């Protein structure tokens, strides 16, 4: 990769455009999917495998943190969370979101340091799969599970909210009540995944 080109992250304009037309926000998974529909966005990354996935993730996060800094200078907040990336309206819990941004400082430093991208090899990514990268995949699966339960596109729901929504969905789709068995199983699997992630975070 061309280091000069990489320091000028060309994903910033398309990401800004996508967020502007998605006022309720996007997950990182959805953002990457939409960027991949624009052929030139990831033209300089590896051609496949875990290294390519890592590079796409890094470039998107780098662009988001650069964009966050630029917007802060203009008095605007960009909330960066794998499940929901969105602009924060003025007065909408601004102090709380500013505190969240401050807590993200270690991540921000990591993604704004280009050497972390250039130095990462295929074998390094394999090591990451055992730690940080494994958590990244878990977040991706969590986003899919929340979507299936109809809880995506908002700030991370509480565990009680997930349980309440699960009970509603199970009652609606239970085979004994005329529901679809395959859909019922999908809902059950989504809930089990979220339950495991919740238990692991406690």
- Residue 181's Cβ-count burial label (10 Å; 0-12, 13-18, 19+) is exposed
Task: Judge residue 102's burial from the number of C-beta atoms within 10 Å of its C-beta, 0-12 exposed, 13-18 middle, 19 or more buried.
Answer: exposed
Can you give the pLDDT at residue 49? 75
More confident residue, 46 or 143: 143
Mean pLDDT of 32-40: 83
- Residue 8: phi and psi, rounded to 5, are -95, 85
Q: So what's the pLDDT on residue 178?
A: 84
Long-range contacts of residues 98-105, Cβ cutoff 8 Å, at least 24 apart: 101/68, 101/72, 101/77, 104/80
Q: CATH code for 138-201? A: 1.10.287.110
Give residue 5's pLDDT band: very low, low, confident or very high (50, 70, 90).
very low
Alpha-carbon gap, residue 182 to 162, rounded angstroms: 20
Rounded distance between C-alpha atoms, residue 118 and residue 179, angstroms: 51
Q: For residue 195, what are its two tokens? A: 């339950």
pLDDT in tens, 60-85: 999 999 999 888 888 788 988 877 89
Report the pLDDT averaged over residues 180-185: 83
pLDDT on residue 2: 40
Say how far apart CA 23 and CA 20 lie, in whole Å: 6
Instruction: Please answer whether residues 122 and 48 qualify as being in contact, where contact means their C-beta atoms are separated by less than 8 angstroms.
Output: no
Q: Which residues of 120-145 are buried (b: 16+ CB within 10 A; e: fewer)?
A: beeeebeebeeeebeebeeebebbeb
- What pTM was computed for the model? 0.60
Q: At what angle do helices 132-148 and 28-36 cross, to 10 degrees?
A: 90
Q: What is the pLDDT of residues 102-143, one digit of tens each?
A: 667 888 888 999 888 888 887 877 776 566 556 666 667 788
| CA separation for the pair 138, 145 (Å, rounded) | 10
Comparing 197 with 60, the larger pLDDT belongs to 60
Q: In the chain, which segments carry CATH 1.10.287.110? A: 138-201
Angle at 96 between CA 84 and CA 109, to 5 degrees: 65
């Amino acid at each position: 990769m061309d280091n000069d080109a990489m320091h000028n992250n060309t994903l910033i304009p398309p990401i800004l455009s996508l967020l502007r037309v998605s006022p309720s926000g996007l997950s990182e998974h959805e953002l990457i999917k939409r960027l991949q529909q624009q052929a030139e966005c990831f033209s300089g990354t590896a051609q496949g495998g875990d290294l390519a996935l890592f590079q796409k993730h890094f470039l998107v996060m780098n662009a988001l943190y650069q964009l966050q800094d630029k917007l802060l200078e203009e008095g605007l907040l960009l909330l960066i969370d794998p499940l929901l990336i969105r602009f924060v309206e003025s007065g909408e819990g601004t102090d709380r979101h500013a505190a969240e941004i401050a807590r993200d400082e270690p991540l921000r430093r990591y993604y704004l340091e280009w050497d972390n991208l250039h130095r990462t090899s295929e074998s390094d990514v394999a090591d990451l799969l055992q730690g940080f990268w494994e958590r990244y995949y878990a977040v991706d699966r969590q986003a899919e599970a929340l979507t299936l339960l109809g809880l995506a596109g908002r700030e991370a729901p509480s565990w009680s909210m997930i349980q309440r929504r699960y009970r509603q969905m199970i009652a609606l789709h239970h085979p004994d009540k005329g529901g679809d068995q395959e859909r019922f199983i999908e809902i059950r699997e989504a809930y089990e995944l979220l339950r495991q992630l919740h238990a692991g975070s406690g």
